[in-house]
Structure 1
Amino acid sequence: MFGTSGIRGQVGRDVTASLALSVGRAVGTAGYDRVVVGRDVRESGATLLDALSAGLRECGSDVVDVGVEATPTIARAVEWLEADAGVVITASHNPPTDNGIKLWTPSGKAFGPERRAEITEIVEFESYDLAAWDGLGERTARTGARAHHREALRSAVDVDDSLEVVVDVGNGAGAITAEALAELGCHVTTLNGQPDGSFPGRPSEPTAETLEALQTVVAGTDADVGIAHDGDADRMVAVDETGTFVPKDSLLALFAREAAEDGTRVAAPVDTSLAVEDTLSAVGASLTRTRVGDVYVAERATEPDVVFGGEPSGAWIWPEQTLCPDGPLAACRLVELVADRGPLSELVASIETYPIRRTSVDVGDKRAVMEAVRSRVLESYDDVDAMDGVRVDVGDGWFLLRASGTQPLVRVTAEARAEERADVLFEEARAIVTDAAE
Structure 2
Amino acid sequence: MKQPQLFGTNGIRGIPNEDLTTDLAMGIGKAIGTFFDAKKIAIAKDTRISGDMFMLSVASAAMSTGANIVYVGELPTPGLQYYCKVNGIPGIMITASHNPPQYNGIKAIDSDGTEIDEETEIKIEEIYEKKLYKKAPWDKIGIYSYDSTAIKIYMESIIESVNSEAIRERHLNVAIDTGNGASYYTSPAILSELNCHVVSLNANPDGKFSSRNSEPKPENLSDLISVMKTGKFNIGIAHDGDADRCVFIDEKGNYIDGDRSLALIVKHTIRKGDIVVTPVSSSDALGAICSEKGAKLISTRVGAPIVARAMIDNRAVIGGEENGGIIYGKHQFCRDGAMTMALMLNLLTQENKPVSELLHDIPDYSMVKSSVVRKMNWDDIRKLITEKYSGKKMDFTDGVKIFDDDGWTLIRPSGTERIIRVFSESIHKNLAEEYNREYTNFLNNL
Q: State whether TM-score is above 0.5.
A: yes
SS state of the match for residue 268, structure 1? strand
| RMSD of Structure 2 on Structure 1 (CA) | 1.7
Q: State yes or no: 1:43 paired with 2:49.
A: yes
Q: How does 1:340-355 map to 2 (within 5 A)?
A: 340-341=350-351, 342-355=353-366
1:336 — aligned with what?
Answer: 346
**Contact (CA 8 Å) 1:166, 1:226: kept in 2 or not?**
yes
1:21 — aligned with what?
Answer: 26
**Contact (CA 8 Å) 2:231, 2:252: kept in 1 or not?**
no
Tell me which of 100, 104, 112 is aligned to 1:95. 100
Distance 2:157 2:406 in 1: 42
Q: So what's the TM-score if we normalise by structure 2?
A: 0.93
Distance 2:198 2:430 in 1: 43
Q: Which consecutive residues of structure 1, in runs of 5 or more, have no partner in the other structure?
A: none
1:170-229 Cα offsets, whole Å, 9 max, x none, are 111112111111111111111101110101111111111111111111221521111111
Q: So what's the TM-score if we normalise by structure 1?
A: 0.95
Q: Alpha carbons of 1:378 and 1:420: their partners in 2 closer, same or farther (altered >3 Å)?
A: closer
1:322-376 Cα offsets, whole Å, 9 max, x none, are 0121111111111111122111111122212223222212231242443323542
Distance 1:55 1:145 in 2: 23
Q: Which amino acid aligns with 1:292?
A: V
**Contact (CA 8 Å) 1:370, 1:402: kept in 2 or not?**
no
Distance 1:224 1:205 in 2: 23
Q: Alpha carbons of 1:106 and 1:258: their partners in 2 closer, same or farther (altered >3 Å)?
A: farther
Q: State yes or no: 1:284 paired with 2:294.
A: yes
Distance 1:211 1:424 in 2: 26
Q: Which amino acid aligns with 2:117?
A: G
Q: Alpha carbons of 1:358 and 1:31: their partners in 2 closer, same or farther (altered >3 Å)?
A: closer
Q: State yes or no: 1:220 paired with 2:244.
A: no
1:55 — aligned with what?
Answer: 61
Q: How does 1:27-426 map to 2 (within 5 A)?
A: 27-33=32-38, 34-83=40-89, 85-158=90-163, 159=167, 160-174=169-183, 175-341=185-351, 342-373=353-384, 375-376=386-387, 379-381=390-392, 383-394=393-404, 396-426=406-436
Q: Which consecutive residues of structure 2, in runs of 5 or more, have no partner in the other structure?
A: 1-5
Distance 1:396 1:264 in 2: 28
Q: Which amino acid aligns with 1:28?
A: G
Deviation for aligned residue 1:428: 4.3
Deviation for aligned residue 1:279: 2.0
Q: Alpha carbons of 1:252 and 1:59: their partners in 2 closer, same or farther (altered >3 Å)?
A: same
Q: Which amino acid aligns with 2:258?
A: K
Distance 1:420 1:203 in 2: 29
Deviation for aligned residue 1:394: 3.9
**Contact (CA 8 Å) 2:382, 2:399: kept in 1 or not?**
no
Distance 1:257 1:208 in 2: 24
Aligned residues: 434
Distance 2:228 2:37 in 1: 46
**Contact (CA 8 Å) 1:366, 1:403: kept in 2 or not?**
no
1:407-432 Cα offsets, whole Å, 9 max, x none, are 22222222222345434533443354
Q: Which amino acid aligns with 2:114?
A: K
Distance 2:443 2:359 in 1: 33
1:59-101 Cα offsets, whole Å, 9 max, x none, are 1111111021111111111122331x11100011111111000
Deviation for aligned residue 1:252: 1.0
**Contact (CA 8 Å) 1:265, 1:308: kept in 2 or not?**
yes
Q: Which amino acid aligns with 2:159?
A: R
Q: Alpha carbons of 1:423 and 1:80: their partners in 2 closer, same or farther (altered >3 Å)?
A: closer
Q: Which runs of 4+ in 1 moved over 6 A?
A: none
1:242-271 Cα offsets, whole Å, 9 max, x none, are 111111111010111122222222111111
